[in-house]
Homo-oligomer: A and B are copies of this chain.
Amino acid sequence: MKVALFGAGRIGKVHAASIKMDPRSELVAVTDVMAEVAEALAQEHGIAVRTPEEIFADASIDAILIASSTNTHSDLIEAGVKAGKAIFCEKPIDLSLERALQVRQIAASHDKPMMMGFNRRFDPNFAAVKAALDAGEVGKGEMLAVTSYDPAPPPVSYIKVSGGLYRDMMIHDFDMCSFLFGMPVSVMAHGSCLVDPEIGAAGDVDTAVVVLTYADGRIATIRNSRRAPYGYDQRVEVLGSEGTLAAENEVENTVVKSTTAGVQSAKPVYFFLERYMRAYAIEWSAFVDAVVAGAPVPASIQDGVNALALAEAANRSLAEGRPVAITSDLIGG
C-alpha cells in the first residue's frame, strides 16, 4: 500500500514513522507548503517531494495521509475522494461544522476507506476501558469523567487561529465520550480564563468544564485546562452499575523514592507525542487493516462531524449560558 503524506510538520513526522513501522505500508511521496520542511522529511525517508497535483494524479498511490494545517483538510479530502484515494485525515475535518457536513456528504459515496485521526481511541489504556465497558465488566455505564490537561498552553498566536478550546483541544474529549458513551442529547459548557489573560483577550477560555447528558440518563463530564505543569494529564473514568473503570496516567518511570520529604514517584509523561506514540502506530495499522483487509474503519468521518458538532454546541452553550440540545440536523441528519 503506497502512501503520500500531506504535511511534513511535527504530526506529519509522527505519521511517517508509523507508516514505516507497518510493513504493509510504504511512504512514497510528501508535500508541504514549506519546501524545506518537505525536503527534510523526504531526504530522511529517501522519498520524493511531489506537488499535490502530482500525488492525486499518480494512480500507483493508494492512500493519502492529511496532516497539513486544519484549513486545508476539507479541500484535500474532497480532492482525495475525486482521485479515488483511501484517506486518513487528522482531526478536525474543518473549523466550520457546515463545511464538515458538506465534506461528509461528498465522502458518503466514496468507496475507499476514509478515517479520522482520533488517536486516543487507540491508546492501549483507553482502548482497554472501552473493551471492558463493552464486555459489561462494570455493568451498564452510568457516568463518565474525562480529565484532559495540557502541560502548558500553546502560543497565543496559535490560539487565535485554533478555533477555540472546544474545537481545538476538547474535540479529542468529545470524541472520547462518543467512543465510550455514544452521542449525547445536550451539552452544557462552562469556561473561564485562568491560565493566561492573553488567551482571554483573544476571546478564548483556557479552563473548561462541559457536561454531556444522554437520552437514557447517563451523564459525562469533561474537564480541560491548558496548563498542568506536572505533565500531560490524560485520564478517563467510568462508573457502571457494577463498578468503576479508570485509566490513569502513564508516567516517566516506575521509581518510588521515600525520604523525610515524602514518597515521590515519577510525573506523567510531559508531551502528547510521548504519551500517544504507541497510539499513533496502532491507529495507522488500523487504517492499513481497513485499506488492505477491508476491516471496519474505527473512526469515521461521521465521528469527525459528531465531535465538531459537540464543540459547536459547547461554544453556543458558553455564549448563551444554558444547555444546548444536540439535534439531528446539527450532525447531518
Contacts and interface: CB of A to CB of B under 8 A. Distances in A.
Nearest to A262: B264
A243 interface: yes
Nearest to A257: B245
Contacts of A201: none
Interface stretch (A47-55, A57-65, A228-236): A228-236
A254 B262 contact: no
Contact of A239 (B124, B145, B228): B228
Contacts of A198: none
- How many copies the complex holds: the figure is 4
A262 B219 CA distance: 25
B264 A244 contact: no
Interface string A240-263: 011111111111111111111111
Interface stretch (A32-40, A206-214, A293-301): A206-214
Contacts of A145: 145, 147, 223
Contacts of A255: 125, 128-129, 132, 245-248
Interface stretch (A69-77, A165-173, A185-193): A185-193
Interface stretch (A136-144, A153-161, A305-313): A136-144
B243 A247 contact: no
Contact of A264 (B195, B249, B251, B264): B264
A316 interface: no
A240 B147 CA distance: 14
Nearest to A222: B221
A259 B137 contact: yes
A91 interface: no
Nearest to A323: B321
Interface of A: 124-125, 128-129, 132, 137-138, 140, 142-143, 145, 147, 149, 188, 190, 192-195, 207-209, 211, 213, 217-219, 221, 223, 225, 227-231, 233, 239, 241-268, 321-323
Given A145-B223, A192-B213, A229-B260, 8 more contacts: A124-B252, A188-B190, A209-B219, A233-B258, A244-B259, A246-B257, A247-B253, A247-B256
19 contacts: A128-B255, A128-B266, A132-B255, A132-B257, A145-B147, A149-B239, A188-B211, A192-B213, A194-B217, A209-B211, A223-B239, A229-B243, A230-B262, A230-B263, A233-B244, A246-B258, A260-B267, A263-B264, A321-B323
